[in-house]
A and B are shown apart, each in its own frame.
Chain A
């Protein structure tokens, strides 16, 4: 059974940092590009960041470039998102997603709230 389990969300003050982690199982992790996608309360999906299967290529959305960093460890089947200089506008449910052609897997999401 495919599973993606996010952790690390919570309440953080503006300007603070948080590291999200996603543990994958049930599929060949290194064959899949992995992404983080967020959804602010009552809003649509926003792509945040992606990393290739090998980890050699990383990509970021304009709103997070320079503040967020994506990592993966194929030996542990994990993908992390280091979030620095957080802003209230970063408040959202953050989903971890794995993608390869017609195979598309999502975690249940972890809530990040940026507020003083």
Chain B
């Protein structure tokens, strides 16, 4: 099986840039996705194929990749961006989520 490692929490002030990392060997070979989940809500896809943004997702959300680490960047973070963020990757016969990162904007 594979593992994806994320920091448990990240804090930023409103308007600052938040960066959430996700590390795992599988990321050197396979794409990552990023999801946002707010309390009591269903996860929303923010980024796919490491850097692609689905229609309707604000441009302040972006993704990047380097080796075995992918990064979700939230430029000009807003209070409404407070949520849990999960990376995800699919490798051959296995899929895996990272442990999640709680983003605090205050």
Task: Report the Cα distance A109→B96, complex, angstroms.
Answer: 19
CB-based nearest B residue for A48? B95
| A1 interfacial by beta-carbon distance below 8 Å | no
Task: Report the Cα distance A110→B14, complex, angstroms.
Answer: 35
Task: Report the Cα distance A28→B50, complex, angstroms.
Answer: 25
* Cβ-defined contact, A106 with B100, below 8 A: no
Residues of A within 8 A of B37 (CB): 45
Residues of A within 8 A of B48 (CB): 101-102, 104
Number of residue pairs A-B, CB distance < 8 angstroms: 48
Q: Total interface residues on B, using CB and 8 Å? A: 24
* Cβ-defined contact, A106 with B86, below 8 A: no
CB-based nearest A residue for B97? A45
Task: Report the Cα distance A56→B61, complex, angstroms.
Answer: 35
Task: Report the Cα distance A107→B43, complex, angstroms.
Answer: 10
Tell me which residues from 93 to 113 in chain A have a Cβ below 8 Å from any Cβ of chain B. Answer: 95, 101-104, 106-109
CB-based nearest A residue for B33? A104
| A59 interfacial by beta-carbon distance below 8 Å | yes
Q: Which residues of A contact B (CB under 8 A)?
A: 35, 37, 44-47, 50, 59, 61-62, 95, 101-104, 106-109
Q: Which residues of B contact A (CB under 8 A)?
A: 1, 33, 35, 37, 42-43, 45, 48-49, 52, 54-55, 84, 86, 88, 90, 93-100
Identify the 9 closest CB pairs spanning chains A and B, nearest first: A104-B45, A44-B100, A102-B54, A47-B95, A106-B42, A45-B97, A59-B93, A62-B1, A45-B86
